[in-house]
């Protein structure tokens, strides 16, 4: 599905971050080189690859490359405690761990083979920029996410490709297309990132990565939404409430604003609806096991 978008809009911007953009063609080429490198490491269908990078071009390239190699990605937040990261690596036993220089110091010692996108850049770049053969089908794993678990012990939730396409392709709750701009706000270890990343890339839309410091400052977030002309975004309920409290008109110009993960508070919904609201405001819910959104 992504490669069809590359063929139809190669020069369209796919990802924007820190004032720079990657076109669909450039993203495809970078992901293919990394995917071909991963194939030499034995990555294929249902083979896990851990990805511990900051939200950046490298994150999107890594997610796409792992899928192109046929594998399944295991996103790991570099800000997590070392004990949690160690548990995830030991429990999931990925075939490889992708990092970049900025996250190397966050990781515990591990026997998992490490691929450093900075230190190994020359070797990765030597691979061809065409897609590898033998990619996964709809029943193979797309990713594994670790939740806290009802007992507090992390547990890995395995999600197949068909669940991702169910979430963002031919849906009845949101409309996505090449003219859209989706804000990338969620941590990659949180399943809302599935909606953001694949919702954009499978429709030829633009994914705009919003820096963490901007997300945590409602007025700055409102300015970023307006500056990037964001049409679609998802916020956790707690973040939505904070924005409603400090910058209730933040979503003017947004076509579809989704929020969820916790019970809605009518007070803050009303505040947004009374201050230049988005065209559509959706409260969504779904556990990780149901692939991001199960109801709206």
pLDDT at 102: 87
Cα dihedral: 287, 288, 291, 294 (round 10): 0
pLDDT at 232: 98
Residue 283, Cβ density class (10 Å: 0-12 exposed, 13-18 middle, ≥19 buried): middle
Render 131-197 in DSSP notation, one character per residue. Answer: PPSS---TTSEEEEEEE--TTSS-EEEEEEHHHHHHHHSS-SS----TT-EEEE-S-TTSTHHHHHH
Residue 236, Cβ density class (10 Å: 0-12 exposed, 13-18 middle, ≥19 buried): middle
Give the confidence band of 135 by pLDDT, cuts at 50, 70, 90: confident
pLDDT at 109: 87
pLDDT at 147: 86
For 32-74, the pLDDT digits (tens) are: 999 999 999 999 999 999 999 999 999 999 999 999 999 999 9
Tokens at 60, concatenated: 């999107």
246 pLDDT more than 90? yes
For 71-108, the pLDDT digits (tens) are: 999 999 999 888 899 999 999 999 999 999 888 888 88
Neighbours of 217 (CB within 10 A): 17
Provide the mean pLDDT of the chain.
94
pLDDT at 149: 64
For 143-198, the pLDDT digits (tens) are: 999 987 666 788 899 999 999 999 999 999 999 999 999 999 999 999 999 999 99
For 108-130, the pLDDT digits (tens) are: 888 999 999 999 999 999 999 99
pLDDT at 240: 97
pLDDT at 148: 74
The answer to whether the beta carbons of residues 31 and 56 sit under 8 Å apart is: no
């Amino acid at each position: 599905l992504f490669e069809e978008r590359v063929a139809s809009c190669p020069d369209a911007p796919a990802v924007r971050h820190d004032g720079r953009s990657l076109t669909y063609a450039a993203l495809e080429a970078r992901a293919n080189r990394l995917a071909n490198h991963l194939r030499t490491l034995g990555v294929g269908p249902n083979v896990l690859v851990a990805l511990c990078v900051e939200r950046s071009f490298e994150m999107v390239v890594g997610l796409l490359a792992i899928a192109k190699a046929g594998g399944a990605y295991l996103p790991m937040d570099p800000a997590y405690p070392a004990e949690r990261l160690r548990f995830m690596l030991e429990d999931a036993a990925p075939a490889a761990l992708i990092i970049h220089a900025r996250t190397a110091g966050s990781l515990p010692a591990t026997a998992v083979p490490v691929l450093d996108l900075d230190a190994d850049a020359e070797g990765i770049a030597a691979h061809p920029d065409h897609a590898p053969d033998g990619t996964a089908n709809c029943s193979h794993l797309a990713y594994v996410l670790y939740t806290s678990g009802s007992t507090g012990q992390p547990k890995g939730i395995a999600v197949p490709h068909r669940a991702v396409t169910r979430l963002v392709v031919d849906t009845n709750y949101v409309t996505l297309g090449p003219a859209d701009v989706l804000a990338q706000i969620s941590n990659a270890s949180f399943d809302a990132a599935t909606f953001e990343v694949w919702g954009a890339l499978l429709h030829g839309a633009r994914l705009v990565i919003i820096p963490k410091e901007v997300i945590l400052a409602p007025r700055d977030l409102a300015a970023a939404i307006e500056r990037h002309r964001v049409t679609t975004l998802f916020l956790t309920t707690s973040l939505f409430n904070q924005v409603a409290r400090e910058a209730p008109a933040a979503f003017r110009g947004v076509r579809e604003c989704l929020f969820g993960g916790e019970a809605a508070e009518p007070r803050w919904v009303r505040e947004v609806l009374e201050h230049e609201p988005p065209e559509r405001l959706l409260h969504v819910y779904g556990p990780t096991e149901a692939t991001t959104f199960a109801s709206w």
